[in-house]
């Protein structure tokens, strides 16, 4: 709790271009939750270096991502928006938690297996202990809730396990967090292969909608989206392409699936795909315009970076001192 409010933590990697999946699965929920909770939204650049990065490019992407959080509607006066690398507590707590996490647990992480298979030339220890850093991010702020897409659920589970194990040994040190998964949009699928998650690393440019895609590109990609030959706009597993498009439509318009199915009853796929594209453009356009405006305001963004890092550091240190005391590290002499 901070000032009587429950705490929320979430983050995104500054790797590659953000997709509509990141927006609908995570950022959109961040906006709706931001009044209710004391929120920490981090640009998790420490996580990004588990895969080799070009330094100038990483720096640029991290700044763009931080700006995008604000452009999407998060007020940096109310929400703590900061770079993970500016708050050393993340790395410090991650080391400590590494000593409370088993190799066997980490071996079961499906994202590690996927990433290791993709980057065979660089299966580094950081990639393996990535979920521990993620646990540290969350536990550092005594977070109650963590809004994420479905692909992060396994990492939330291990975070809870680590917190409970630590608490079991030392008493109630950490708040055990709950994941928050949106009713729709929790797993946006590829437009070219609706059995695969929409991902920023997809090589097929038509598979993902990027947050910075212009309206024509968005509409064109939706027109090319893979569907089926059933000629029915129904929400069912047998039609994964249509189901995904309905999910996207409903998440963008805040309509229920039943409402959307009714709206498109008897309509053709062409008309439906265009309507989905237009709904997405209506969501992305204002964010893109605000992003472009904010990007030019260097002094303002620099101010946010400085102030919020200090705030995050303050709360991080509170938890860290408590943890250090519990595990028996000597007290600091002032």
Binding interface with ligand TYM (CB under 6 A)? 9-13, 21-22, 25-26, 44, 47, 134, 137-138, 146, 148-149, 151-152, 186-188, 197-198
Q: Give the nearest distance from C-beta 17 to ligand TYM in angstroms.
A: 11
Question: Residue 211 or 260: which CB sits closer to ligand TYM?
Answer: 211
Q: Give the nearest distance from C-beta 298 to ligand TYM in angstroms.
A: 25
Strand partners, 146: 179
Question: Residue 76 or 131: which CB sits closer to ligand TYM?
Answer: 131
Q: Give the nearest distance from C-beta 25 to ligand TYM in angstroms.
A: 2
| Per-position DSSP letters for 161-175, written without gaps between them | HHHHHHHHHHSS-S-
Each residue of 61-90: b (16+ CB within 10 Å) or e? Answer: bbbbbbbbbbbbbbebeebbbbbbbbbebb
Q: Supply angle C-alpha 167, 172, 174, rounded to 5.
A: 75
Q: Give the nearest distance from C-beta 188 to ligand TYM in angstroms.
A: 4
* Whether 311 is catalytic: no
Closest residue to ligand TYM in the complex (CB): 25
Q: Give the nearest distance from C-beta 187 to ligand TYM in angstroms.
A: 5
CB contact at 8 A, 240 and 195: yes
Q: Give the nearest distance from C-beta 285 to ligand TYM in angstroms.
A: 21
Q: What are the φ and ψ backbone dihedral angles of 78, each rounded to 5 degrees?
A: -100, -30
Secondary structure class of 197 (helix, strand, coil): strand
Question: Residue 151 or 278: which CB sits closer to ligand TYM?
Answer: 151
CB contact at 8 A, 8 and 37: yes
Q: Measuring CA to CA, which residue among 221, 219, 239 is closest to residue 229?
A: 239
Secondary structure class of 71 (helix, strand, coil): helix
C-alpha–C-alpha distance, residues 318 and 334, integer Å: 16
* Whether 197 is catalytic: yes
Strand partners, 43: 12, 83
The residue annotated as part of the active site, out of 6, 187, 200, 255, is: 200
Question: Residue 22 or 308: which CB sits closer to ligand TYM?
Answer: 22
Q: Supply angle C-alpha 305, 309, 312, rounded to 5.
A: 140
* Whether 115 is catalytic: yes
H-state helical runs in 254-268: 257-263
The residue annotated as part of the active site, out of 197, 221, 243, 273, is: 197
Question: Residue 137 or 213: which CB sits closer to ligand TYM?
Answer: 137
CB contact at 8 A, 249 and 219: no
The residue annotated as part of the active site, out of 28, 115, 221, 273, is: 115
CB contact at 8 A, 85 and 133: no
Question: Residue 54 or 331: which CB sits closer to ligand TYM?
Answer: 54
Provide the annotated active-site residues: 115, 197, 200
């Amino acid at each position: 709790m901070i000032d009587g409010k429950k705490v929320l933590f979430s983050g995104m990697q500054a790797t590659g271009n953000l997709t509509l999946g990141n927006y609908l699965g995570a950022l959109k929920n961040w906006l709706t939750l931001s009044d209710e909770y004391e929120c920490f939204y981090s640009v998790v650049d420490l996580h990004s270096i588990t895969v080799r990065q070009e330094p100038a490019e990483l720096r640029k992407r991290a700044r763009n991502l931080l700006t995008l959080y604000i452009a999407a509607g998060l007020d940096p006066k109310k929400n703590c928006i900061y770079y993970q690398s500016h708050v050393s507590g993340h790395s410090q707590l991650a080391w400590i938690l590494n000593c409370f996490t088993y190799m066997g647990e980490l071996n079961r992480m499906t994202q590690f297996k996927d990433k290791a298979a993709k980057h065979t030339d660089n299966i580094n220890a950081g990639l393996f202990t990535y979920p521990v850093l993620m646990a540290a991010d969350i536990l550092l702020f005594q977070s109650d809730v963590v809004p994420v897409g479905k692909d992060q659920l396994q990492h939330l589970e291990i975070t809870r396990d680590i917190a409970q194990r630590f608490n079991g040994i030392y008493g109630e040190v950490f708040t055990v967090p709950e994941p928050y998964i949106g009713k729709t949009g929790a797993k946006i699928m590829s437009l070219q292969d609706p059995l695969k998650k929409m991902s920023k690393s997809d090589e097929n440019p038509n598979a993902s909608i990027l947050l910075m895609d212009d309206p024509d590109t968005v509409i064109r990609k939706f027109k090319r989206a893979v569907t089926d030959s059933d000629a029915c706009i129904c929400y069912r597993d047998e039609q994964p392409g249509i189901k995904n498009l309905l999910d996207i439509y409903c998440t963008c318009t805040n309509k229920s699936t039943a409402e959307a199915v009714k709206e498109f009853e008897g309509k053709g796929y062409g008309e439906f795909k265009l309507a989905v594209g237009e709904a997405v453009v209506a969501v992305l356009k204002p964010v893109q315009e605000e992003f472009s405006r904010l990007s030019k305001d260097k002094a303002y963004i620099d101010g946010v970076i400085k102030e919020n890092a200090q705030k995050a550091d303050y709360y991080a240190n509170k938890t860290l001192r408590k943890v250090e005391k519990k595990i028996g590290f000597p007290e600091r002499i002032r």
